[in-house]
Structure 1
Amino acid sequence: MPSVDLNLLVALDALLAERSVTAAARRLGLSPSAMSRTLARLRSATGDQLLVQAGRTLVPTPYAEELGGRVPALAREAQAVLRPVAGRLDLATLDRTFTLRAGEGFVDLLSGPLAAAVIQAAPYVRLRFAPKPDKDAQALRDGSIDLEIGVVGPSAPEVRTQLLFRDRFIGICRAGHPLLAGGAVTAARYAACCHVVASRRGESFGPVDEALARLGLTRNVVLVVPAYTNALQVAYNSDLVALAPRLSLGNALTSNRAADAGLQGFELPVPTPEIAISAQWHPRLDDDPAHRWLRQTVTAVCRSAHPSS
């Protein structure tokens, strides 16, 4: 296909509408001489005179008359295709399903506020939370996941990341647990308890164990479950002690509603690293206006729920 200058299409639309070189030039912000040169290029490209002099006006040729019904729509379509995508988003009519992958803490506590924010701005948008068996980036690469929310793990180097909030672990046990009734929760008393650990991979050793090991202490982990919600249920129904992210899970379940929940949170007696909760997406979605809006909405919901994190 020979090189085509789509600017000629826009110029032809103006010339056919105005039937005047001067008026068409004014419409497009060009000089009359520039528009005359453009008309010459159009005549060369089409092999037709298009507009010919008739007294003081220009009249269309039969071919130009034939084009008159097609060119305006073609010019608008060409401009729409080549216009920056940021100007195309209409949230009121956006009809799209976004698939997110997040841990159970986010789903339990923040998916409701997120859905409310989405419904208010974009009533035809739907959110789907997929299971999170691992942190494999392939789902982001192949498009089966639009947005990953959680702790950044080994990932594809091209994946984009944005911090949402920072969290930290707290201990959780049933209300009235002997650990909380015997004075300060020391590292020795904490380690001496029986523990339940949440791990999708079935691992029982983590940052708290590293901190205890530096003190010569070891936790007695008697149960490993797949999810934090499982660990909290176990802690509620036994004397096992659990861990949970404070903001993501533990705070909502143990602070103001401790009596109702039957669970109580406490500060760990050893320091553990902060947990960075981030949003991750594939770079092909960087400039997609709908996805950018989704990322901004997720960020706003997270920072509203955790303003000081």
Structure 2
Amino acid sequence: MVNIDFNLLIALEALLSERSVTGAARRLGLSVSAMSRTLTRLREATGDRLLLQAGRTLVLTPYAEQLNQQVPALSRDIQAVLRPTDRQCDPATLERSFTIRAGEGFVDLAGAALMKRIHNAAPRVQLNFVPKVDWDAQPLRDGAIDLEIGTVKTTAPEIRTRLLFRDRYIGVCRKGHPVLDAHAMDAATYAAADHVAASRPTPVDAALAALGLKRKIMMTVAGYTHAMQVARHSDLLAIIPHSCLGNAFIPDHAAANGLQSFELPVQTPAFNVSAIWHPRLDRDPAHVWLRNEILALCQTGYP
């Protein structure tokens, strides 16, 4: 394919249609001499003379007559493929399944609201949530997942992101826990208490380590919602994202489940929760629509 110039196809269509070097040149905005040179190139490429002099006009060879039945459609198809897309997404007729990797906190507290929003606009769209076990970008690259929701911890340089909302870490315990009786829980008291920890690392332990302290972790669980359930039925303390306390769709989620929140005795930075995807889906109309729907949902639920 290295020797094929698709511009020749456009010129060939003009020559076959106009049956005139001058007419084809005018049609394509070229000089007559340039079009004459293009005809020479076409003759060399096809091995056929294509147009022959017949008195004061040009006529098509038999091979050119055959091409005249094929070239217009080929020319339109090639130009359509190589032209910038203007495809639009019609959610009402969209029939597609999206695989989304997200933490259990987002699925538990926002999954139903997202599905309702999606279903109202696009009743044939399915959402398949898969567990967020790590931050590996390969599933995004190979198409195993269409979108990820969470913190950006990949070094893959091509990955695209869009901020959904800001979050921060907070402590939770069961209602009536003795630790809540302290007017001001200091870092040493906090670290000495019994803890349940989600398997995902947080900057809280780094902040405690800077003070020479370490949490007394009695149990490790898979995720934040598991830690919330353990804390609810025990005297263990848990660290969770503030968003797990509740949102506009499920307000007071933690309180309704017998939990009380408290500010941590160490300062940790807030963090971004983002939509994350591979650039091959940047301009896919359906994917753009999905990203916009998720962003709108988060702007409503996590102001």
TM-score range relative to shorter protein? 0.7 to 0.9
Please give the secondary structure, in 1, of the residue aligned with 2:43.
helix
How far did residue 6 of structure 1 move? 1.1
Output the CA distance in 2 between the equivalents of 1:274 and 1:185: 21
Please give the secondary structure, in 2, of the residue aligned with 1:300.
helix
Aligned to 2:51: 51
Please give the secondary structure, in 2, of the residue aligned with 1:70.
helix
- Tell me if the contact between 2:14 and 2:27 (Cα under 8 Å) persists in the aligned partners: yes
- Tell me if the contact between 1:91 and 1:121 (Cα under 8 Å) persists in the aligned partners: no
Mapping for residues 69-218 of structure 1, pairs under 5 Å = 69-84=69-84, 87=85, 89-92=87-90, 96-112=96-112, 126-153=126-153, 155=154, 157-160=156-159, 162=161, 164=163, 165-199=165-199, 207-215=203-211, 217-218=213-214
Decide whether aligned partners of structure 1 residues 40 and 207 sit closer, same or farther in structure 2, where only a CA change above 3 A counts.
closer
How far did residue 65 of structure 1 move? 1.8
Aligned to 2:229: 233
How far did residue 120 of structure 1 move? 7.3
Please give the secondary structure, in 1, of the residue aligned with 2:129.
strand
Output the CA distance in 2 between the equivalents of 1:98 and 1:162: 17
Output the CA distance in 1 between the equivalents of 2:287 and 2:250: 34
Aligned to 1:17: 17
- Tell me if the contact between 1:102 and 1:149 (Cα under 8 Å) persists in the aligned partners: yes
Question: Could you tell me which of 262, 265, 271 is aligned with 1:266?
Answer: 262
TM-score by length of 1: 0.76
Q: Which amino acid aligns with 2:36?
A: S
Decide whether aligned partners of structure 1 residues 23 and 105 sit closer, same or farther in structure 2, where only a CA change above 3 A counts.
farther
Question: Could you tell me which of 238, 245, 256 is aligned with 1:242?
Answer: 238
How far did residue 3 of structure 1 move? 1.5
Output the CA distance in 2 between the equivalents of 1:2 and 1:141: 28
Output the CA distance in 2 between the equivalents of 1:121 and 1:54: 63
Output the CA distance in 1 between the equivalents of 2:233 and 2:157: 44
Structure 2 residue 292 is matched with structure 1 residue 297: yes
Output the CA distance in 2 between the equivalents of 1:147 and 1:105: 16
Please give the secondary structure, in 2, of the residue aligned with 1:234.
helix
Please give the secondary structure, in 1, of the residue aligned with 2:12.
helix
Decide whether aligned partners of structure 1 residues 254 and 51 sit closer, same or farther in structure 2, where only a CA change above 3 A counts.
closer
Output the CA distance in 1 between the equivalents of 2:203 and 2:116: 35
Quick check: 143-152 or 70-79, which moved more?
143-152
How far did residue 210 of structure 1 move? 3.7
- Tell me if the contact between 1:114 and 1:301 (Cα under 8 Å) persists in the aligned partners: no
Q: Which amino acid aligns with 2:7?
A: N
Decide whether aligned partners of structure 1 residues 257 and 287 sit closer, same or farther in structure 2, where only a CA change above 3 A counts.
closer
Output the CA distance in 1 between the equivalents of 2:234 and 2:204: 21
Output the CA distance in 2 between the equivalents of 1:94 and 1:34: 47
How far did residue 79 of structure 1 move? 2.3
Quick check: 111-120 or 160-169, which moved more?
111-120
Output the CA distance in 2 between the equivalents of 1:237 and 1:106: 22
Decide whether aligned partners of structure 1 residues 15 and 118 sit closer, same or farther in structure 2, where only a CA change above 3 A counts.
farther
Please give the secondary structure, in 2, of the residue aligned with 1:41.
helix
Q: Which runs of 5+ in 2 are unaligned?
A: none
How far did residue 138 of structure 1 move? 3.7
Output the CA distance in 1 between the equivalents of 2:294 and 2:250: 24
Decide whether aligned partners of structure 1 residues 276 and 120 sit closer, same or farther in structure 2, where only a CA change above 3 A counts.
same
Decide whether aligned partners of structure 1 residues 293 and 239 sit closer, same or farther in structure 2, where only a CA change above 3 A counts.
same
Number of aligned pairs?
A: 299
Decide whether aligned partners of structure 1 residues 185 and 56 sit closer, same or farther in structure 2, where only a CA change above 3 A counts.
farther
Quick check: 249-258 or 140-149, which moved more?
249-258
Q: Deviation string for 1:97-154 (max 9, x for gaps)?
A: 443322112333444565567667777654432222223344344442343433344x
Decide whether aligned partners of structure 1 residues 15 and 157 sit closer, same or farther in structure 2, where only a CA change above 3 A counts.
same
Quick check: 233-242 or 26-35, which moved more?
26-35
Decide whether aligned partners of structure 1 residues 41 and 298 sit closer, same or farther in structure 2, where only a CA change above 3 A counts.
same
Output the CA distance in 2 between the equivalents of 1:94 and 1:52: 52
Q: Which runs of 5+ in 1 are unaligned?
A: none
How far did residue 258 of structure 1 move? 5.6
Aligned to 2:34: 34
Quick check: 34-43 or 91-100, which moved more?
91-100
Please give the secondary structure, in 1, of the residue aligned with 2:196.
strand
